[in-house]
Structures are given as C-alpha cells and as structure tokens.
Structure 1
Amino acid sequence: MKYLSLSVQRSPSRAKSAVAAVIAVFAMAGCANYSGISSDKQITSPDNFEATQSVPAQGGQWPTLDWAKQFGDPQLPQLIDEALADSPSIAQAQARIAKASSYIESSRSALYPKVTGSYSWTRELYSANALFPPPYGGTWYSENNALVSASWELDLWGKNRSRLNMAVSQQKAAEADMQQARVTLAASVARTYNQLALLYALRDVAAREIANRQDVGRITDGRVTAGLDTNVERQTAAGNVATSQTNLSELDGQIETVRYQLAALLGKGPDRGMQIGKPVIDPKVNVTLPDNVPADLVARRPDIVAARWQVEAATHNIKEAKAEFFPDINLAAAFGFDAFGWSRFLQASSRQMQIGPAVHLPIFDAGALRAQLKGRYADFEGDVANYNQTLISALSDVATNISAIRSLDKQTADAQRALTAATSAYQLAVIRYKAGLSPQLQVLNADENRLANEQTVTNLRLKRTDLQIALIKSLGGGFDATNANLAIDGSGQSQASNPTPSQ
C-alpha cells in the first residue's frame, strides 16, 4: 500500500499554504475512490407486517419486571431473583458490556490531543577517528535529552467520531443482549418451576389413584370371601395397586430431576434443588395482549433492540471506512532541551523545538480501502437482515403463543367434560361391582378411562400456565427500552426511519 505523506515543520504561516494546497489537490480524489459502493438494504417497519387478526388488541398491559408475582406463588419470584443474581450467563453478558465500555473510552481518547514526555541520559565514548573531531573524539561525554511532545488528529472527516459512535452503539447492543439474557433466564426458571408444579399435580393424581384401586381391592376381597369373585380378580386388583405405586415412584424420580435442573438455573449445586418447596402456582392466570403490539414490540423486546443497535453500529462503521479515503491531518509540536553534560543542559541555547502539521493520504493501495468498505457494507446488510428476521420471529412468537392458548382452552373444556363423564361412569361401575351387578373388568376399564382423562386435564391446565409464561417472554418479559436507556430516538421506540450509512 502506498500513501502520500507530507510533514511540514516550519513556521505556521509558511506551512498554512502548503497544507491547503495538498488538501485541495487530493481531497476530491479521496472522495471519488469509493464511488459505486453502496447498499439499498433497509430495516423493515412493523407496519409492513399484517398481524391484526393473529395478534389482536385486547386492552391488556405490557408485562412488568415483577410479572412472576401474578402467579400467586411467593417462591417463584424469589427463585427468579436468585437466578438473576448468581447466573454465570448474566455475568458473561456483564463482561461483554465492560469490554464494550473499554472500546468507548479508547475511541473517545482519539478525539483529544495527546501529550507525552521523555528524558534520556547517555554516556558515550566518541571515536577519535570518526565523525567527531577532538576534543569530542576520543573522550567520554554525557548527553541529556528532555522532550515534551504533543499531537492532535483534527478528524476533519469524522473518522474518529464515527468510531466512537460505533463503540457506543455496540455497548448499547451488549446491554440489550444482557437484558435478553435476563428475560430468557427468568422465563426458563418459571417454566421449569411450572414443570415441577405439573409433576406434583400428576403425583397427586397418582396418589388418589392408589387410594381408589385399594378401595376396589377391598371390595374384591369381600367378593372373594362371599364366593362372588375368584383369586384371579384379587390378584388383578393387587397388581393394579402395584402399578399405580410404580407410577408414583417414577414421578418422584422426575420431581427430583427437575429440582436439580432448577438448581442449575439458579447457579447453585444440586443440593439447592432439594430445598425448593412444592409449587402453588395459580393456573387461572390469564395474560391479555396490550394494544399496538406490532408497533410497540420493537421497544419491548430486548433482542429486537439489540439487533437495532447493531445496525446502528454498522452504519457508523461504514462512515469510518469512508473517512479512510480522506487525508489525515495531524498537528504536532515538541519542546525540550538537548546538551552534552549538565552545565548547559537547561540553558536557552540548548532548546529544541518542532512544530507543524502532517498530512497523510492514500494514493494507491491496490483496492484495499474499497475492499474494506465493501466488507463494512456486507456487515451492514447482514445486520439489517438479522434485525428484520428478529422482528419477524418476535411477531411469530406472540402469534404462536396466542394461537396455542386459544386451542388449549378449547381442548381443556372438552377434556373437562370427558373427565366429568368418566368420573360418573367410574363411580357407577364401583357401585354396581360392590352390589354384584357387574364384573371387576367393567370397574377397571372405567377406572383407566377416568385416570387418563384426569391426567389429560392436569397436563392441559399446567401447559396453559407454561404458554402464559412463554407469552410473557415473547412480549419482552417486562423490558422497556426507555426505562433501560436503550431507546435509539429517546421516545421508547426504535426509529421508524431507516439508518443511512452515508457520509
């Protein structure tokens, strides 16, 4: 790569005309070098997606950060707070923010003058047969050199400012990523805790089933004694009780496993899971959609906000790459003292001074700068595509959860009617069996049917709670870009206009 560099070290008045001439000759050439390199990609507005039917306005409220309290279980919010305080994933996100902050400080320093100081002392024997004649040649001398230097890059084309803005945008994206990690972790804790609640509910069903089958076993024993049944029915009843106890033991093992999973989400060892009590989640909680979901979602979902800030960073990255085509102008000055020995070191005659601008402009680089700019535009287009895909996925998440809840409500109503009928049939079968009017097989069939329906209703009720938690997560989990100081235009919503990666 070849560049033209001009360094003028003379009086400011004589240097002014030389610098102006260099800028006038080469500035236009620098501007023209990136002609033809551009992008027409734009972020998509939520208004472009039709979602009024799939995501209807329900007059609800956006979730708050303490959304877990609405489920009526005091243990759940405590577990979420514990997870957020001790999670390694949150710590990793915080480390990324700290690293991004260091880039901001580094980029900001380039906007200001830099001052350095140096001092050297050299003891040297000069050759008597070389450059220096006697009395210096053949004699030991000490040289003292002190110098204070200052330099300042003028940043006329905004390269350093664009780099700073890019670093700020990347930090904002990292902060939004951390918020997304918090939302994801909180939802994971809640959904795993709901899974624990489901297992406990199924365990209660299994325990009741054991009691029911034991009752049938006692009826069978009485019928065997009365000569109405044989040992076949007695062993069948005993086997059914043992099967139910096996199911109960299996559920106990699953409960223990989920406790360990919760402990891992809390950032603790497996023993912490054994301290978690039985959940008391209210399955009747209903999350209603707020109005204007598609438009407002861009400020409520941290992953969308992070993607938007990444597009903003890519825009500034392009501006920095374009500024590389323009001349760099540095002002430099230095003052100090240089003398042999100590006696004349700080005298006026030992002063040394330098002052003048330096101009640096690329003339021929074999297309390196153009290639760099093309790469920045490619990054920009990739970030735009990522933003658009994130927005589409977010709307799909909300619509999918709403559709699943609607379907589940219909299934639950049907399953509840089936359970009511199956329970009545089972009760009648037991009465008839006890009275000797029907065989044991009829009771067992009715019992299996009732048990299957009760398990179905239990699964559907707790699955609805899981979908409610998923809906809260898809609505941002209480995140608000304005409250988090992450809104790009300061109004609580990402800008509707598209970023312009132009100079």
Structure 2
Amino acid sequence: MKHLSLPALRGIGLPGSAKTALAAAAAALTIAGCANYSGISSDKTIATPDSYSATQSVPGQGGQWPSLDWAKQFGDPQLPQLIDEALADNPSIAQAQSRIAKASSYIETSRSALSPKVNGSYSWTRELYSANALFPPPYGGTWFSENNVLASASWDLDLWGKNRARLNQAVSLEKAAEADMQQARVTLAASVARTYNQLALLYALRDVTQREISNRENVGRITNGRVTAGLDTNVERRTAEGNTATSQTNLSELDGQIESVRYQLAALLGKGPDRGLQIANPVINSNVTVALPDNVPADLVARRPDIVAARWQVESATHNIKEAKAEFFPDINLAAGFGFDAFGWGRFLTSSSRQVQAGPAIHLPIFDAGALRAQLKGRYADFEGDVANYNQTLINAMNDVATNISAIRSLDRQMGDAQRALAAASNAYELAVIRYKAGLSPQLQVLTADQNRLANEQTVTNLRLRRSDLQIALIKSLGGGFDATDSNLAIDGSGQPKGTQQTASQPAQSN
C-alpha cells in the first residue's frame, strides 16, 4: 500500500496561508484518494436457539442447572476431591491459562496504541570533515563533535476507530480464551468422573465374578459328593473344576483392567501412575437422576462454555472487519519534538541551539492494487467461518443434551426388564442346584441356569453403572456448572455474550 506523507513541519508555527493550503490538501486527499470497499459485505447471521426445534427432544422437567459442585450428588466423598485435585494441578488447564495470558498481552499492546507516545534520544558524533568536499576551511579538514538531544511526542488520533477496533478484537479473543479454559475445566471434571465411574463398574463386575467363583465352587463340592456316591463321573467333576478356573481367569482379567483405569485416573489428575494406586474403591450412588431445567434450548447458550467461546470468536471477527474498513481512510498523527543540536559543548544547551518541530502526518491509501479490498474480503470470510462454527456448536450442544436424555430413557426401560430377567434366572439357578443336590437333575441343567444367571447379573450391573455415566454426560452437556454471567463472560442482561441478536453485517459497519 502506498501512502502520501506530509513531513513534520519545522519551526514554531506556520503562516496562515500555509495552514489553509495544508487543510485544503488534506480535505481533497480524503475525498478523492480513499480506496473503496463498496460491494463487500456479508448476510450471514448467528443462529438463535429457537431456530432449531427441540421442545419434544429436550422437554423442561423443572430441574436446576448443574452447580459447580455437582459431583457431590453421587454420594462418594472421594469423587469431588479427585476433581478438585485434577483442576488444581493439570497441564491441560495450565495450557489454557497460558493462552489467556497471551491474549491479555495483546490487549495491553492494543491499548497502548490509543495513548500518546513520548520518547527521548541523545547522540554524540565525532567526525572529521573532508577539506575537499562540502564544508570549506576552517570546518573542512577539522575534527568536530556534534551533540544532539531530542524529546519527541506523537499521537495517532484514530479518527476512524482502527485502534479501538483492534483493542476490542483483543478483548474478544481474551474472552474466548477464558471460555475455552472453562470448557477445558468442564471436560476434565467430567472425564475424571466418568473414568471413576468406570472404575466403579469394574469393581462391581469383580464382585459379581467373585460370587460366581463361590457359586461354582459350591457346585463343585456337590459334584464331588455325587461322584463319591456314584451318581456322577469324573466328566462332571472336571467340568465343574474347569468352570471355576474360567471364573478365576475372568477375575484376573478384571484386576488388570482395574489397574489400567487407576493409571488413567492418575494421568487425569496430572500425577504419576502411583497416584492411581492410592485411590480407594468407589462407592458411587447410581440412582442419581438429573432433571432438565425449563427452557433448556434458550438458556443453553449461556451455560455451555464452548458456545460462549464460539460467540466471542464471532465478536472478534466483527472487530477485525471494522479495523479492515478503517484502513481505507487516512491516518492522521500529531507529532512534536524539542531539543538541542550543536557542534561541541560550549553552545550545546544555549537558546540558539534549540530545535523545535511540530505538525501532522497524514497517511492515505491512494493506489494499492486491490490489497485493502482483498484484506477486507478475507476478514469477512473469517467472520462467516466463525458464524458457521457458532451455529454448528449450538446444534451439537442441543443434540448432545437430546442424545443423553434419549439414552437415559432407553436405559431405564432396559433396567426394568433386566431386573425381572435376573430375578427369574436367579430363582431358576437356585432350584436347579437344589434338584441337582437331591439327584433329581443332571449337572448340565445347573450349568445352563448358572450361565443365564451370570449373564443377567452382569447386564444389570452394566446398566446400573452405565446410567451413572449417562447422568455425568448429561451434566457435562448442560455446561457442568458453568454460567457465563458468573464468569464475567456475558455482557447483556439476557446472560448471552454481547450482540447475540446482531446480524453479520451490523457489527461490521465502520464508524
């Protein structure tokens, strides 16, 4: 981009005619010289929650939004402690905090552009002037020392709001980084809880397996008695021993899985693997039910940090557009300087050695071969991409809530059937053992009943802990206790970030 620059005017003042000519030249350049951005705009808008139908999928149930201490409702005192430990000392949170610090530095840099700048300089030069050049004797052929001290000040008037737009863009990026950190906290807390629930499931399955070993050992003792009485053969004895050994193999496999999950928990806590071995056995209450708040779709935009972060990205893009539009107009800077300049030291600080300079500098784009228009088009493309990302984030969030609600409903229906199946299979197994012990039925009938009972008990156990996992997932999909207003990430009274109802073209208009 080429600019026209009016050099700083030396001297204390200008004649009236010179000032008039300067003003006329600036006005003419402003009118005739500016590049044009007409025809470049966008009609993209961010979606509102009522744009997507969700009243049937996500019905209000009169519940409350999750609080930050949501883990306490699962009745295991160790779980909230583990979440607090993870949030206090985890590399992923530290990474998010570093991004906030970096965004904050951009704010300070952008804010400095709005204030006048004052600088001071001093130079001392020792020079031998040629006797055969510009300066005749006694200067030519002689060494001289020049002292120069100057205090200067400058101020960008920012008439078109370019620097203010850049500052607002930096503030929006910081807010987006803060929302991203909140999202990282919500994700980490939910990951700890769900992994902890997985540990609880493995321990519950381990208890089932241990009971199965006890049952099969009991069947083995009955078989040994029947072999002694001549009612069974070594085939039945070896079958009973093989079944017990199979259950013990399953127990060893579960112990290995438990150890692996403990290591996963340690990593989530930001600690070494030995920390996972210190975690006590979980005692999660799987009967917790999370009721949906009323008006979920509308309020979700202020409760999900990923939606808030996406909205601040849109806000940042609108300020980027404003900055790009301001580039089409002239920059006017005021500059002034005062100091002393003299050869030698004798007259260095005398009034006759004063130097004074003051005046405006106007930088105006005249011909840039379309560079400014291309830059503005790029900013609008970024804006439209951020709008699309926001809309997709909103869709994903609503689908996330609806999916978890649907899965919980389905699981509750399965649980009733599974519990009835377990009760019937357990009763059939007990009767089969009694008949086998009395010599009224063969061992195969006991083994079949045992397999059915074991499969049903495992199913009920899996469903019970799967329900806890879905409740945790639902809490996460509802924001995990995040509130944009409490986190100072909402601007207007509706609890939504600034400009939620604006269209794409409104925030991009220049001042």
CA contact (8 A) 2:35 2:365 kept: no
Q: Against the structure 1 CA distance between its residues 490 and 102, is the aligned structure 2 distance closer, same or farther, given a 3 Å change threshold? A: farther
1-structure distance, mates of 2:14, 2:467: 77
CA contact (8 A) 1:30 1:325 kept: no
Q: Can you list the C-alpha shifts for 1:116-142, whole angstroms capped at 9, x where unaligned?
A: 000001111111221112222221111
Task: Please report how far the alpha carbon of residue 32 of structure 1 lies from its aligned counterpart in structure 2 after TM superposition.
Answer: 6.2
1:464 match: 467
Q: Against the structure 1 CA distance between its residues 490 and 389, is the aligned structure 2 distance closer, same or farther, given a 3 Å change threshold? A: same
2:180 aligned with 1:173:
no
2:353 aligned with 1:350:
yes
CA contact (8 A) 1:192 1:258 kept: yes
2-structure distance, mates of 1:187, 1:362: 53
1-structure distance, mates of 2:34, 2:187: 46
2:160 aligned with 1:153:
no
SS of 2:352's partner is: helix
Please show how residues 172-211 of structure 1 align to structure 2 within 5 Å: 172-211=175-214
Q: Can you list the C-alpha shifts for 1:429-483, whole angstroms capped at 9, x where unaligned?
A: 0011011110000000000000000000000010010000000000000000000
Q: Which amino acid aligns with 2:297?
A: P
Instruction: State the TM-score, normalizing by the size of structure 1.
Output: 0.98
Greater Cα shift, 486-495 or 449-458: 486-495
Q: Which amino acid aligns with 1:483?
A: D
Match of 2:25 among 22, 25, 28: 22
SS of 2:4's partner is: strand
Q: Which amino acid aligns with 1:362?
A: P
Match of 1:322 among 313, 320, 325: 325
Q: Which amino acid aligns with 1:7?
A: P
1-structure distance, mates of 2:406, 2:85: 32
Q: Can you list the C-alpha shifts for 1:216-238, whole angstroms capped at 9, x where unaligned?
A: 01111111111111111111101
SS of 1:391's partner is: helix
Task: Please report how far the alpha carbon of residue 12 of structure 1 lies from its aligned counterpart in structure 2 after TM superposition.
Answer: 5.8
1:502 match: 509
SS of 1:363's partner is: coil
SS of 1:3's partner is: coil
1-structure distance, mates of 2:417, 2:424: 11
Task: Please report how far the alpha carbon of residue 47 of structure 1 lies from its aligned counterpart in structure 2 after TM superposition.
Answer: 1.1
Please show how residues 472-487 of structure 1 align to structure 2 within 5 Å: 472-487=475-490
Percent of matched pairs sharing the same residue = 82
2-structure distance, mates of 1:420, 1:479: 42
Q: Which amino acid aligns with 2:48?
A: S
1-structure distance, mates of 2:85, 2:193: 12
Task: Please report how far the alpha carbon of residue 334 of structure 1 lies from its aligned counterpart in structure 2 after TM superposition.
Answer: 0.6
Match of 2:412 among 403, 409, 412: 409
Q: Which amino acid aligns with 1:297?
A: L
2:60 match: 57
1:421 match: 424
SS of 2:364's partner is: strand
Task: Please report how far the alpha carbon of residue 7 of structure 1 lies from its aligned counterpart in structure 2 after TM superposition.
Answer: 3.0
Q: Against the structure 1 CA distance between its residues 431 and 109, is the aligned structure 2 distance closer, same or farther, given a 3 Å change threshold? A: same
Q: Against the structure 1 CA distance between its residues 137 and 32, is the aligned structure 2 distance closer, same or farther, given a 3 Å change threshold? A: closer
Please show how residues 93-108 of structure 1 align to structure 2 within 5 Å: 93-108=96-111
Q: Can you list the C-alpha shifts for 1:312-347, whole angstroms capped at 9, x where unaligned?
A: 000000000000000000000010000111110000
1-structure distance, mates of 2:308, 2:236: 66
Q: Can you list the C-alpha shifts for 1:265-304, whole angstroms capped at 9, x where unaligned?
A: 1111111111111000000000010011000000000000
Task: Please report how far the alpha carbon of residue 490 of structure 1 lies from its aligned counterpart in structure 2 after TM superposition.
Answer: 4.8
| Root-mean-square deviation (Å) | 1.3
Please show how residues 25-104 of structure 1 align to structure 2 within 5 Å: 25-29=28-32, 33-104=36-107
> Matched residue pairs, number?
503
1-structure distance, mates of 2:54, 2:268: 34
Greater Cα shift, 210-219 or 493-502: 493-502
Q: Against the structure 1 CA distance between its residues 39 and 16, is the aligned structure 2 distance closer, same or farther, given a 3 Å change threshold? A: farther
Q: Against the structure 1 CA distance between its residues 315 and 413, is the aligned structure 2 distance closer, same or farther, given a 3 Å change threshold? A: same
Q: Can you list the C-alpha shifts for 1:378-397, whole angstroms capped at 9, x where unaligned?
A: 00000000000000000000
1-structure distance, mates of 2:493, 2:92: 28
Structure 2 portions without partners, runs of 5+: none
CA contact (8 A) 1:333 1:353 kept: yes
2-structure distance, mates of 1:487, 1:465: 32
Q: Which amino acid aligns with 1:355?
A: A
Task: Please report how far the alpha carbon of residue 502 of structure 1 lies from its aligned counterpart in structure 2 after TM superposition.
Answer: 1.2
CA contact (8 A) 1:319 1:502 kept: yes
1:384 match: 387
CA contact (8 A) 1:419 1:453 kept: yes
Q: Which amino acid aligns with 2:227?
A: V
2:257 match: 254
2:216 aligned with 1:213:
yes
Instruction: State the TM-score, normalizing by the size of structure 2.
Output: 0.97
2:237 match: 234
Structure 1 portions without partners, runs of 5+: none
CA contact (8 A) 1:23 1:327 kept: no
2:9 match: 9
CA contact (8 A) 1:332 1:356 kept: yes
